[in-house]
Structure 1
């Protein structure tokens, strides 16, 4: 876990550390050799090195060195000269080490921040931040990576508007975790962005995506890395009043919200996950689904298979029924907060939710 420094450079903490050093020095002078507190005081510059700015660490270290020198001069009659020199030298070494440690940590933190900034920029090019907009569609939702410090994991999503005015939506889940899963997800995402714009049908889009993943897997096989497959759900939303078409590549069900009614749906015809199509050669087929006036909630199994400490699965349909009247952005926030509370912040898999709403059909922004 990355520990952040105290705000304002640690002004309050610096005052507390100096006060502690002074108090311990006074006690040392009063108790003489019977009670030695220098070891406790030596922790103060180290705390400053980790949590304060470099300038304040220098101040704390200097106060510590001076306090220790004065203390040993006061009790010198009871010590021999060599003992005093060793004690003062030790205090100077601790002070110098604290300053050097602070400088090294600050340099490392600056490098970490630069790396994190670059990583964030790269990850945003892979997966756009929610909410998304395409034509009349407004897509709220959230994405939680199970990997600490990462914005991107094994779940993918995207929306693309075609020249014909259709909006194509993707949500998918890459098998596995880590960098190989991110690579496979990126291959599928980039192919979707291209195919969803140019191809005439969802079936052609799915074929294009599978071809890209097969080529990616073929390249991986040359390095000895395991091949990946991707479950995906593709949607095509046309003008208001038309029916939404859905094509499932082995993905979990989605949900349709109409008024207070929440219905779980799985297309009657669905194909194998992307990357596994050649096993059967069976063509994938898109089917008609909900009306464009209805809301759709798409998710990955990181949501439906999330568990609480007692091992119970997250009741997504029940939660959707309870919050069906909320606007999509509020519904997304409520679901995310409830999911993190339900799991006590211990998600075992990436979790993504997309709430799809046709603003023009629903009569609102």
Structure 2
């Protein structure tokens, strides 16, 4: 009996000790979980936390390439555009004056990744820039943002999953906020520089007075009338411009015009010529419906045959997609 009681006491003692150990383990684990959740995570970017540099950094794009290196092709330079930079691994858009280029060694020389990156980091530190990011973005992040970047796949493009991107910010008293990102491998590098600037609207309403003045003084008026994509249907804002043409002709009843449609060189040349003719005819029909005698109007399409400027950039192609009013008397 004593032996049985002793065994029972021992069993209860073991069970009690095991239960206590489990309670202690549970308490410890709960404490670890609580501490991990409550630990503050440092995220976000505030440019106000970066000191303003008074260093003279020259003129845009503010960075001369290291010795022995060159721009591989013609760099992308825009007075106003958008560029995406990694903030906490999130590709974030900033707007302003933009420079993007691929970098290669001079002919006959080899590219040193270490030389390029040390040259960049030492120079940026010397002028007061601060490194904000040094790492890769995820494939999920690339998939999220890449279609929002109008320059994706273009000159000096940066921002693909698996690329090691180095992103710096420089605040200056004279030139404002400057954003710099670059990457390199054993063959070459890419560099982006953006001088942040607010957007300034440059589009103003075309007026009948301006059209009249151009026709009388220059013999022609160059207009940008919007149409539905690949169609000759005039958009709502395009109709407003056509209404101003009608008013200009009513104010100058002796003027006769030829309405000439033009496109850029994208796509099939025959299709572009047909489309430009259809659009010129659509403007003529709208003017006629506004009370302008059809005998004062002619319509013709030239497609891409008479560009204003070379079709060598998106901006120039936009300039070539136009309607010209030519005074014919």
TM over 0.5: no
Q: Which has the higher strand share?
A: 2
More helix by share: 1
Larger Rg: 2
Q: TM-score range by the shorter chain?
A: under 0.3
